[in-house]
Every structure is written in C-alpha cells, then in structure tokens.
Structure 1
Amino acid sequence: MTTAEQAFADRLGITAGQTVREIGWDEDSDDRLRAAVEEWTGTALTDKDSEDVSDAVLLWWREEDGDLCDALMDARACLSGDGFIWLLTPKTGRGGHVDPADIAESATSAGLDRRPPVNLTPDWSGTRLDLPRAP
C-alpha cells in the first residue's frame, strides 16, 4: 500500500478486516480511494445487494441522486452496532455538489450523528455519519 492509500484508509477510520459496503458508485467515483479501502481491509467492497452486515458504508452521493434521507436510512439498516457511514459528495463547484445544509438535515432526520466534512480527494469531500451512542 502506498503512503497515499494508507492516508485515505487512516483518515476514514477503516481498519484491517472490516467489511465495507459501497453504495452509489459511478464512473465519477474516486478509484484511488476505493482501492485504498480494499487494500487496507484486505477484502473487496461489498455492494448494495449484499446481505452481510457492514462495519462501514461508503455512500457516493450527488445532488441529483434522489432523497438523501432515504439513502441514509437504507445505508444505516445494513450497519453493525458500531458501524458508520462515509457520505462522499462532490466538492463545491463540482457537478452534483450537495449543499451542507441538506446533509445536516438528512443526517438528523436519519438519526445519525454528523462530524465535520473533510477533503478526501481533489473532487470529493466526505462527511462521517455515526450511529448515536447509548448514554
């Protein structure tokens, strides 16, 4: 694994052996990020049709993809109890950019805790969404 791939995996909080599901892949998705996750976990990404419980979900999302809250609810349903979702959206100024207010509203409606967005690649930002922790 290259240093750049290691940095992707570390930044995403994904560890070796985790099962990561990918939803919303399209030709504009960043293959370096995908490859880094597969290399680091040691397993291929599973797709939206997998029946396995996932430790993490990579959700590639663009403004025109539909109802974000519904997509987050679907992604949440396949997570393990301590799993998390990385909502990957095009950066500001790129086609398909998603307004941060829409992300915040959809995450809250889906019952997910939102962390601040991070720049992951030249074209994509990521927002980690966590299941709420028990008090």
Structure 2
Amino acid sequence: MVAAADAQSYVQKLGITADMVVQELGWDEDTDDDLRAAVEDMIGGEILEDDSDEVIDVVLLWWRDEDGDLVDALMDAIGPLSDEGFVWVLTPKTGQPGHVEPSEIAESAPTAGLTQTSAANLGQWSGSRLVQPKSRPANKR
C-alpha cells in the first residue's frame, strides 16, 4: 500500500488521464489498492475487468514470477487495446515475493509485438510501459 498522495503521483507517472478506459488484469490480494483507487479517481469511473469488450486505452497487468507465461498474458492484453493504447506490466520490486526480473519483460515484450518505452517506481511495485509499434505509412512517390 502507498499513501494517497503517492498514489496520485503514481497515476501521473503512468500517464493515465481523465476519461481513459483502463482495464486491469492479474488482480490479487497483493495488488496496491491505493493505486487502484487513485486510477479510478482520475478516470472518473471503475477499472474494467478482464471480461470487458470495450476498446481499452491502458491495461494494468499485475504480474508475478509464478503467474505463468508473460508472452501469453501480453498477447491477451493487447487484443482490445486501442491503436494509441499501452500496457503497464506491474511487478513486485526486487526482494519482494513474486519479483520478476526486468530481462523477462524485455524478452517477452517483442515476442508479443510490443516495445518497452519506460519504467516507473511505484512503491512496492515496478512498472514497465509497453506500446505497440506505430505502423509506418507507405512511401508515396
């Protein structure tokens, strides 16, 4: 858990703004409820669960070492993602139960068709921002 003021700061670090559609995958008892509440305050609504059929702006993927195959989870996460949408893989910090090595994210992202663009310190969690590559317009001659 983080203090409410810290949680608001983390939401800004995540690039989440008002009226975005945010989906959460991988929720469990260990997720940061203050951060989740701050996200809902920012977007003015509830975070969507994994069974939503809406187009998603941001996916928050809570991921732990024992959660399975990260590539599969990322492939599922990008299905409903908007063209400009992005995924935050949120993992426990070094020394915390379930810690994921950064190299696992770095290796899994390209396999799922994503590129890592930044990282964020979020209290007991670390975040890795992943985006879909922009399609290049065809050359016009």
Give the TM-score taking structure 1 as reference length.
Answer: 0.94
2:134 paired residue number: 133
**Can you list the C-alpha shifts for 1:62-104, whole angstroms capped at 9, x where unaligned?**
0100000000000011101100000000011111111111111
3-state SS of the aligned residue for 1:47? coil
Q: Aligned AA for 1:65?
A: D
Distance 2:59 2:11 in 1: 13
Give the aligned partner of residue 14 of structure 1.
16
Percent identity between matched residues is: 56
Q: Which moved more, 1:59-68 or 1:108-117?
A: 108-117
Larger Rg belongs to: 2
The letter of the residue matching 1:66 is G
CA–CA separation in structure 2 for the residues paired with 1:22 and 1:118 = 17
What is the CA RMSD across the aligned residues, in angstroms? 1.1
Q: Among 90, 98, 113, which residue is 1:96 paired with? A: 98
Which of 58, 61, 80 is equivalent to 1:59? 61
Mapped to 2, the partners of 1:31 and 1:3 lie a distance apart of: 13
Hey, what's the Cα distance between the residues in 2 that align with 1:91 and 1:34?
Answer: 17
Residue segments in structure 1 that go unaligned for 5+ positions in a row: none
Aligned counterparts, 1:1-135, within 5 A: 3-121=5-123, 123-135=124-136
Q: How many residues align?
A: 133
Opposite residue 133 of structure 2, the aligned amino acid is P
Separation (CA, whole Å) in 2 of partners of 1:4 and 1:99: 24
Unaligned runs of 5+ in 2: 137-141
